[in-house]
Amino acid sequence: MTGAEALRQGAARLAQAGVPGAAEDARLLLAHALDLPRHHLAAALAAPLPPEALRRFDATLAARAARQPVSQILGRRAFWKHEFRVTRDTLDPRPETETLVEAALAGPFASVLDLGTGTGAILISLLAERPGARGLGTDISAAALEVARENARTVGVCADFLESDWFASVTGQFDLIVSNPPYIALDEMAQLAPEVREWEPRQALTDGADGLSAYRAIAAGAPAHLSPGGRLMVEIGPTQGAAVAALMRAAGLAEPRILPDLDGRDRVVAARKPL
């Protein structure tokens, strides 16, 4: 069987399983099975597929047909300017979260705190752009923190990681606090794609309530942990901007702003601690 034949059969298998983007996913999985960069796959399609590559391809197709995310199958996800290891213990870094990184980099900072760091993608991306800054990432998941530490070593940034329930174990003040907290309301969970609902860590997706619990804790604790003039920036769901901005304002933070992602949806709320 040639690579092209395997690719056609693989795409059909995924489509039959109801996988969205079946053709593109099959290409990614075949490149992975052949241990090739995706842009080198075309040259291999005319050749017979080695038996070991065919076995690997079949196994990854079975996992994808079961709706396991491609990033978990590959073990990595591209985000900002780097690739990050992902596991079932971490939220999959998504392109829309790059809005938060871009907005954070629009201002100066010498210290940054990332609450609920997961893979560490946000914190590590920021520190890679600001080599002189110090950074701390927190998470309640010890397994996620191990993934974040590995990602920091791989990218080559120096960061500290701490097991903490939001600010519970955090001391000191920071110029910048960022977070992509669990913001999906409990009654919205059933609407999520199986790749998200069944494969990503539930505690990173939902607060089990109205989707605003994390923002209440973050807004309440941020003033004590921000330097004067320091910024708080959080990712939100597209309908939560006004509510999160109100929480920041009630906590004494100034100038709350709602920033859109590339699709024009509300994605980030930012505010400052008064001088």
For the chain, the distance separating the N- and C-terminal CA atoms, rounded to the nearest angstrom, is 68
69 is in an annotated binding site: no
166 is in an annotated binding site: yes
80 is in an annotated binding site: no
H-assigned helices in the chain: 3-16, 22-33, 51-65, 70-74, 98-105, 121-129, 142-155, 194-197, 202-205, 213-225, 241-250
Q: Strand 266-272: give its sheet, edge to edge.
A: 160-163, 134-139, 111-115, 174-179, 226-235, 266-272, 254-260
Nearest-CA neighbor of 135 among 151, 167, 158? 158
239 is in an annotated binding site: no
Calpha distance 32→60 (Å, rounded): 9
Count of alpha carbons within 13 angstroms of residue 154, beta-carbon side: 17
181 is in an annotated binding site: yes
Answer whether 112's CB lies under 8 Å from 157's CB: no
Strand partners, 84: 77
10 is in an annotated binding site: no
Strand partners, 79: 82
137 is in an annotated binding site: no
75 is in an annotated binding site: no
116 is in an annotated binding site: yes
- State the binding site for S-adenosyl-L-methionine: 116-120, 139, 166, 180
- State the binding site: 116-120, 139, 166, 180-183
- State the binding site for substrate: 180-183
